[in-house]
């Protein structure tokens, strides 16, 4: 499977994401929205965006492992947050956690601020797509 990062010279150099990734070969895996729920369905780290972000990535890793892939196979992420300001204020610790799970791999990404989530107390949810061999 080949992945090629697309960075048009007419766009700003991406930092912490990529504009696009072209993939050839592999199987397409659609990742449903994952929140900060633990194995019992309880939202972890109430009121703590960084703690919840880490749980979301832990949940994504569990899905990727079960599907036979890795976090580096994720090519697209949509990040939904309750507060964009809280997300921006915590970029450094969020980035550190992100790199723990993704290394130097950055999917194509988008960030959305939403008014509410399905479950009360949730501050962040991610959904995405992966291509696995």
**CATH code for the domain of 50:** 3.30.1330.40
> Per-residue pLDDT for 1 more than 80?
no
What's the rounded mean pLDDT across residues 15-35?
Answer: 88
* Total domains present in the chain: 1
* Cα→Cα distances 50→6, 10, 70, 104, Å: 29, 33, 22, 19
> Per-residue pLDDT for 111 more than 80?
yes
3-class SS at 28?
strand
Q: What pLDDT score does 2 carry?
A: 84
Q: Which domain holds residue 10?
A: 2-132
Q: What pLDDT score does 22 carry?
A: 84
Between CA 32 and CA 63, with CA 68 as vertex, the angle to 5 degrees is 30
Confidence of residue 32 (pLDDT cuts 50, 70, 90): very high
């Amino acid at each position: 499977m080949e992945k090629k990062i697309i960075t048009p010279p007419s766009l700003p150099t991406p930092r912490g994401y990529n504009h696009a990734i072209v993939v050839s070969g592999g199987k397409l895996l659609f990742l449903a929205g994952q929140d900060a729920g633990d194995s019992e369905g309880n939202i972890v780290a109430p009121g703590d965006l960084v703690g919840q972000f880490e749980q979301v990535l832990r949940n994504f890793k569990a899905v990727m492992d079960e599907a036979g892939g890795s976090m580096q196979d994720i090519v697209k992420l949509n990040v939904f947050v309750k507060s964009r300001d809280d997300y921006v204020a915590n970029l450094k610790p969020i980035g550190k956690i992100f790199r723990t799970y993704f290394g130097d791999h950055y999917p194509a990404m988008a960030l959305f601020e939403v008014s509410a989530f399905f479950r009360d107390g949730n501050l962040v949810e991610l959904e995405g797509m992966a291509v696995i061999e």
